[in-house]
């Protein structure tokens, strides 16, 4: 699993787990959500420190086929090009 996928999946998995089990132990699962958010933030910081703007196309990119027969794939990336939109 790529770093970018982990950054996206951590909060989603924690939220789904909290939703399913929140009625049983509310305080314990709220802490799990905070932990997942912190883990995601640390991973994002690590990716940010390796980021170099002005690269060719994407600084970080993940592309995996999901259902090849239908042409469905998972593609996510962080753009490295610089622009003057600000």
Q: What is the mean pLDDT of residues 57-82?
A: 84
Asked whether residue 19 carries a pLDDT value surpassing 80, the answer given is no
What is the model's pLDDT at position 27? 63
Full-model pTM: 0.69
pLDDT-derived band of residue 51, with 50, 70 and 90 as boundaries?
confident
DSSP letters of the chain?
Answer: --HHHHHHHHHHHHHHHHHHHTTT-HHHHHHHHHHHHHHHHHHHHHHHHH--TT-SSEEEEEEEEEETTTTEEEEEEEE-------
Tokens for 73, please give them. Answer: 């794939």
């Amino acid at each position: 699993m790529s770093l970018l996928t982990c950054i996206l999946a951590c909060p989603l998995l924690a939220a789904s787990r909290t939703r399913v089990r929140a009625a049983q132990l509310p305080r314990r699962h709220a802490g799990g959500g905070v932990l997942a958010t912190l883990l995601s933030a640390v991973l994002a910081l690590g990716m940010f420190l390796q980021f170099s703007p002005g690269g060719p196309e994407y600084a970080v990119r993940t592309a995996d086929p999901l259902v090849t027969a239908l042409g469905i794939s998972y593609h996510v990336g962080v753009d490295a090009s610089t622009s003057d939109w600000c």
